[in-house]
Structure 1
Amino acid sequence: MDTALAAACEATWPATEYAKAGGFSVGRGLGAGGRVSSARAIGDWQESDIDAVIAVHQHWQQAPLFRVVDDEQRLIVALEARGFQCENPTVVMETATVELATVALPRGMASSIWPPSESQRDIWAAGNIGPQRQAVMERVKGAKAAILGQVEGCSAGAAFAAIAQGVAMVHCVEVLPDWQRRGVASRMMHQAALWAAEQGASRLALAVGRENMAAIALYRRLGLREVAGYRYYSPPEGEI
């Protein structure tokens, strides 16, 4: 993962606070999910730094969790030697903003606003993106937008987009069950790209779980390609 993309991943989905533990940065998530509640390597680290990370997690009363880029083989070996288990493999996909921003959407199909409407908040809540995760969106500094997808005048989908380092990251893409397979997610991605282009972002990216093959297939059809990946490591339950 290149430097700008890594920085955008963090800046557009920030933890409540961070603590440095040797060569790691540890996020405090306050119940907003693994990405903001995990530790990641930010420089050279040694074995004792892993213990320092665990101590920070325990001080914050959150479960120890490491977010590890796929090519960080030394860290993977060190964590597995301690019995840590891999979970939630994730792929990062990217395209040039201009590739998606060339499609003109019919009026009333998608829009970009901030702050989010109540209907967008309800759509996220229905997809398990509740108040804690929505609070992450509020913390983001800089350009951001709530993307609304509509069908027949009804609010059908919602997504969140924010920009850092010239990269527009798209998070929390959700479509209500009654409106799935109607092109809503595709139109929201195009709308996100149109908004990002207006803000001067040259790249558009997102992270999606590797098990979500339907979403990955959609993003590939839209022209996004895999550029990086990461997974989480946590200790066996009750071991720490």
Structure 2
Amino acid sequence: MSGTPPRTADLFDAVELTWPAARLHRAGPWLIREGQGGGKRVSAASLLGDTPDIAQMETEQAALDQAPLVMIRAGQEALDTALAEAGYARVDPVMVLVAPARDMCADLPPDTGFTVDWPPLAAQVEIWEEGGIGPARIAVMDRCMLPRTTLLGRVRDKPAATAYVALHEDIAMLHALEVRAPYRRAGLGRQMMQAAAGWAMAQGAQWMAVLVVEQNVAAQGLYQRLGMRPAGHYHYRIRK
């Protein structure tokens, strides 16, 4: 990897702004994300102060009809321990991977991948829904106010893959990459990432970033072959 990777704080700003919660609520030392069914990342609480009041967080989450859920980042070991002692399970450790966008660009086969300005095509929505990315998560993408696009991958003129990418300063973050089952393990995921890097470069981005759950070994292999390397991580604590 060439160049100095983005600061961890900038990467997490990109995570927040390219995949935004419906609303943000401040409750004492807590930031509570209101996700409206959009998944853990937009429904978790984050501790902004030094002393966690776990009961306060639980009350605020309950008021939003959300499960008690906290995002833990590096340096929050005391919070992690307090939640573990309170009966919270550690789930879904996530890595933030980055690479210079220019290093990921490539000449792609004709008619392989296209950028599609928001809103996505019906075929893209169908691919996402087949992969479990339903209306609540598509609503997360719709809320983003940053420069953004979607990608449509085709194989033999058939819609085969889709993804969403948005730009925060010089970081382009890709989310919701989904390849239809019959077209997996044929290089289409790599081509989608390369198409995203091409879009990012055209927008003036220096870095491509993506999130991957540590258990997703196949996705990790794809991103590592593209030269992406870990630059941050987090996990969740959820009430057992």
- TM-score category (smaller protein): over 0.9
| CA contact 1:144–1:162 (8 Å) conserved in 2 | yes
Q: Which runs of 5+ in 2 are unaligned?
A: 1-6
Q: CA deviation at 1:44?
A: 2.4
SS of 2:165's equivalent? strand
In structure 2, what is the equivalent of residue 97 of structure 1? 101
Matched, 1:44 2:49: yes
C-alpha distance in 2 between matches for 1:47 and 1:98: 42
The percentage of aligned residue pairs carrying the same residue is 33
Match of 1:28 among 21, 25, 34: 34
In structure 1, what is the equivalent of residue 186 of structure 2? 182
TM superposition score normalised by structure 2: 0.94
In structure 1, what is the equivalent of residue 225 of structure 2? 221
Match of 1:5 among 7, 11, 14: 11
SS of 1:35's equivalent? helix
SS of 2:36's equivalent? coil
Letter in 1 for 2:97: M
In structure 1, what is the equivalent of residue 199 of structure 2? 195
C-alpha distance in 2 between matches for 1:145 and 1:96: 19
| CA contact 2:97–2:209 (8 Å) conserved in 1 | yes
State how 1:130-169 maps to structure 2 within 5 Å: 130-169=134-173
C-alpha distance in 1 between matches for 2:64 and 2:157: 44
In structure 1, what is the equivalent of residue 62 of structure 2? 58
Deviations 1:173-201 (A, max 9, x none): 11000111111110000010000111111
C-alpha distance in 2 between matches for 1:165 and 1:46: 32
C-alpha distance in 2 between matches for 1:180 and 1:150: 12
| CA contact 2:39–2:137 (8 Å) conserved in 1 | yes
Q: Which runs of 5+ in 1 are unaligned?
A: none
| CA contact 2:93–2:233 (8 Å) conserved in 1 | yes
C-alpha distance in 2 between matches for 1:24 and 1:97: 34
Q: CA deviation at 1:70?
A: 3.8
Deviations 1:50-101 (A, max 9, x none): 3222111011111110011144211111111111110111111111111112
State how 1:203-218 maps to structure 2 within 5 Å: 203-218=207-222
C-alpha distance in 2 between matches for 1:24 and 1:221: 38
SS of 2:40's equivalent? coil
Superposition RMSD in Å:
1.2
| CA contact 1:68–1:233 (8 Å) conserved in 2 | yes
Q: CA deviation at 1:24?
A: 2.4
| CA contact 1:70–1:231 (8 Å) conserved in 2 | no
SS of 1:47's equivalent? coil
C-alpha distance in 2 between matches for 1:235 and 1:132: 23
| CA contact 1:22–1:45 (8 Å) conserved in 2 | no
Match of 2:112 among 109, 116, 126: 109
